Amino acid sequence: MYYKINSSGSKICLDVMGWHIWTNTQGRLIVNGPDESNRLLDFATVDEGITWLFMTGRKDIARIVNKAKHGELV
């Protein structure tokens, strides 16, 4: 797993379990999953992306993104 959060806490960049997830400069969450159906999904907020991941059964990934959002990954 790779992750990075910038000093402002607003940027997330994760590579975990075949997923690449990051925030862009407008604060949108971009999710690039391992399957064609999960490529370059764009969410208006980090919370919307976390909710989508959780509701579609990707609970482990959702929890990791949530921890990154709150700066809890070390």
Candidates 35, 46, 48; CA nearest to 12 is 46
What's the predicted TM-score (pTM) here? 0.83
Q: Is 70 a residue whose pLDDT tops 70?
A: yes
Q: Is 5 a residue whose pLDDT tops 60?
A: no
pLDDT digits (tens, 9 = 90+) for 25-61: 888 999 999 999 899 999 999 999 999 999 999 999 9
C-beta contacts of 40-45 below 8 A and 24+ residues apart: none
Contacts for 38 with CB less than 8 Å, ≥ 6 apart: 19, 31, 32
Q: Give the residues across from 43 on adjacent strands.
A: 29
